[in-house]
Structure 1
């Protein structure tokens, strides 16, 4: 008899740990195996490579201060944080169903008659109720696992918002600096055109040119004034965009507060590991969503099997509170309950089909995220090289322009 009880107990524990969810396997990365800077592909990184935090990546103190302010006040990041807390609470609600539920209750009843005997009858009751779903086939376990993965996914979504906010603040700061610089260039250009206009006007008086040349010079001045108005509008828009990201409407830095140096001085390594794509929060979010969909398949499969619930109660009733918990007034019961699905018009099968389709959608979404990440990295590497070439060309062009400006300035000065 003892061996039979031990065998029965062993079977119960084995079944309680059973899960019908398919074994999770990470999908293969649908991108080229090699990815290098020269070939738009990632290659193994040098040993000792470590990720760089934003406080190290940015060397401009002003942009660091703006990023810090945005991380404290930005509403998008605050909403993402609240969604993480919501997912954590939802996971707690679902996971609680896996454990025994114990409740206590008490009541008192007073009764009497309107006529005849006027004595009042009193009856007091108190008791404990215990219920527990054995979850032999892992339905509750997989539902809990799905919510746990959803919680992890929400955390990665928050991290994605965090990173995107840092990127947007730095980009908006750069746009503001660019708007200031372009406005200054336009104002200096207007001064040069005004000097040229005065030179052409003097030539007209001496008969060296005609009225058409003077009007053309005036047209250039008016066009430059229109460009200045445009640059001022762009500067105002850049300030508005930056204030929205900061989540506050305090004073923004003006051109005098800019360091006019590099925003960041941390150079990226010439090669990066291909697996670094898997560290992106959007990809991790998609992977956790895939794991949640995987667990939901297990919960849907478990619905085809019997569900066993154990319910027990311990109670006592008495007309006197002092004897409420005496053994003579106590009662107990034990109610094992089994629910066996027989006919539900295909509901369970449809739920399983739905779970499997959503799991397949999650796989496609995961692959899309990886391909999108690959494209973004490839575009960034191409743009980085293109900008470096443009800077080299602009520097050479600047030297030529400066060499031509000195004789032109001397000519204007000597003829005015």
Structure 2
């Protein structure tokens, strides 16, 4: 008997849920706010290059691996994805009726005043069965729209996790490069300090012998103390950059075991020369913005469905008997079926306001989506434009260091022979030191530009480079 009543009810409810119409507008991807390049793609996209193949330095690879395992921000992002996924499962479950088993018992004394026999007595009632409570027939797609919105939110959250991973990989690389640069700057400053200590000792001997003036001695002392100040400054910067690297990696590091020498050949790999801007649409942050837009579009369907009747079903089937021992005897079967329809008449504009909110939220998400595309386009364009100028600037800076070193060498010889004053030596030494510092900074800027371009093109999600045939990007509708 239970199968003849409950099973048809469940099947009918499921069919109604599947056949429900949707009030959500047809989704169309907004036009890009920038002109996308339609040129042919290169054989390998930057997003297809694994971070182990792009970041060639073994120590940096180890740091990135540790960060992916221990970083708290990435852990929070992953847990948030699981949380939103559970919320989607909750919303999806509302499409089908919930079947509950119930059992109840009542025992009460009926007073003489209300007893039909004029005598008090003890009344008992026991029941057991299964039932469906307030299941909504989704005739106008309200529950379906809410389920679709929850699904898009889940997908958006997953893309946010991927964006967090992209940022983390780039930040670890940037922090490592910054630490290496600060190490080289401190080493350069310590060498400069040692040279100026030797220069001061030399000038002091010449001063004591009457071959140098007090002005020369004061200038040498000024240069020495300036180098001491710089050494303290770079020591502080080095400690700060190392702490930042430890925070990103999420564990303690041993600075003595990290490489402190810059080697351009083993730091970064080259990126593809030809890049189509259509690739930007597959960036996690842009996909996140689009999923949020699709979620807002689905919420419009739920807001529209609120103007139409809402039908809910409540039913039960089981046994009832005044005696617990005979609860499941023949003749004790009982059932109930209670449909309910609710039609909004006067909501004082609440439903219309909810619809306006849903539409405005969609407009907001369109603007956010367009802004994400503009930001991605700017990041890629700026990095590409900076690439050639940074190469030329780095080459020129290297030539400047060579020329400054020769100038300093000649200035020292001329001073030792009494041709020029010590001020010429200080100027040449200062120029050489500035050029060497700028060279280190320029190497850091070039590496930062490369890793920024790699991140801007969506690189950093995969550990190893994927084959072009097996890594086609697909959009989840």
Aligned match for 2:102, one of 93, 101, 105: 105
Unpaired segments ≥5 residues, structure 2: 1-11, 113-118, 419-477
Match of 1:126 in 2: 128
Q: Are the equivalent residues in 2 in contact too, given 1:21–1:295 (CA < 8 A)?
A: yes
Match of 1:5 in 2: none
TM-score under structure 2 normalisation? 0.77
User: CA–CA distance in 2 between the matches of 1:279 and 1:177?
Assistant: 33
Q: Residue 132 of structure 2 aligns to a residue in which SS?
A: strand
Q: Are the equivalent residues in 1 in contact too, given 2:127–2:319 (CA < 8 A)?
A: yes
Q: Are the equivalent residues in 1 in contact too, given 2:246–2:253 (CA < 8 A)?
A: no
Check 1:15–1:270 CA distance in 2 against 1; reply closer, same or farther (3 A cut). Answer: closer
Q: Are the equivalent residues in 2 in contact too, given 1:102–1:128 (CA < 8 A)?
A: yes
Aligned match for 1:47, one of 32, 40, 43: 43
Check 1:327–1:412 CA distance in 2 against 1; reply closer, same or farther (3 A cut). Answer: farther
Match of 1:363 in 2: 366
Moved over 6 A (4+): 117-120, 409-415
CA deviations over 1:86-138 (Å, ceiling 9, x no partner): 111111111111111111110223446999x9997643211211243221110
The yes-or-no answer on 1:254 pairing with 2:251 is no
User: CA–CA distance in 2 between the matches of 1:98 and 1:270?
Assistant: 50
User: CA–CA distance in 2 between the matches of 1:252 and 1:382?
Assistant: 37
Unpaired segments ≥5 residues, structure 1: 1-8, 35-41
User: CA–CA distance in 2 between the matches of 1:286 and 1:261?
Assistant: 39
C-alpha displacement at 1:269, in angstroms?
A: 1.3
Aligned match for 1:84, one of 65, 81, 86: 81
The yes-or-no answer on 1:16 pairing with 2:22 is no
CA deviations over 1:329-379 (Å, ceiling 9, x no partner): 111122222111111001110000110000000000100011011111122
Q: Are the equivalent residues in 1 in contact too, given 2:77–2:160 (CA < 8 A)?
A: yes
Q: Are the equivalent residues in 1 in contact too, given 2:110–2:123 (CA < 8 A)?
A: no
Match of 2:72 in 1: 75
User: CA–CA distance in 2 between the matches of 1:315 and 1:288?
Assistant: 45
C-alpha displacement at 1:221, in angstroms?
A: 0.4
Q: Which 10-residue stretch deviates more, 393-402 or 270-279?
A: 393-402
Q: Are the equivalent residues in 2 in contact too, given 1:312–1:333 (CA < 8 A)?
A: yes
C-alpha displacement at 1:404, in angstroms?
A: 4.2
Match of 1:209 in 2: 212
User: CA–CA distance in 1 between the matches of 2:31 and 2:183?
Assistant: 47
Aligned match for 2:294, one of 285, 291, 294: 291
- Report the number of matched residues: 397
User: CA–CA distance in 1 between the matches of 2:107 and 2:209?
Assistant: 120
Q: Residue 101 of structure 2 aligns to a residue in which SS?
A: strand
TM-score under structure 1 normalisation? 0.88
Check 1:233–1:268 CA distance in 2 against 1; reply closer, same or farther (3 A cut). Answer: same
User: CA–CA distance in 2 between the matches of 1:256 and 1:241?
Assistant: 15
Q: Are the equivalent residues in 2 in contact too, given 1:17–1:136 (CA < 8 A)?
A: yes
Match of 1:372 in 2: 375
Residues 299-338 of structure 1 aligned to structure 2 (within 5 Å): 299-338=302-341
Q: Which 10-residue stretch deviates more, 78-87 or 226-235?
A: 78-87
Q: Are the equivalent residues in 1 in contact too, given 2:306–2:351 (CA < 8 A)?
A: yes
Q: Are the equivalent residues in 2 in contact too, given 1:199–1:412 (CA < 8 A)?
A: no
Q: Residue 23 of structure 1 aligns to a residue in which SS?
A: coil
User: CA–CA distance in 1 between the matches of 2:64 and 2:84?
Assistant: 27
User: CA–CA distance in 2 between the matches of 1:324 and 1:67?
Assistant: 66
User: CA–CA distance in 1 between the matches of 2:255 and 2:39?
Assistant: 40
Q: Are the equivalent residues in 2 in contact too, given 1:154–1:285 (CA < 8 A)?
A: yes
Q: Residue 254 of structure 1 aligns to a residue in which SS?
A: helix
Q: Are the equivalent residues in 2 in contact too, given 1:73–1:247 (CA < 8 A)?
A: yes
User: CA–CA distance in 2 between the matches of 1:274 and 1:264?
Assistant: 26
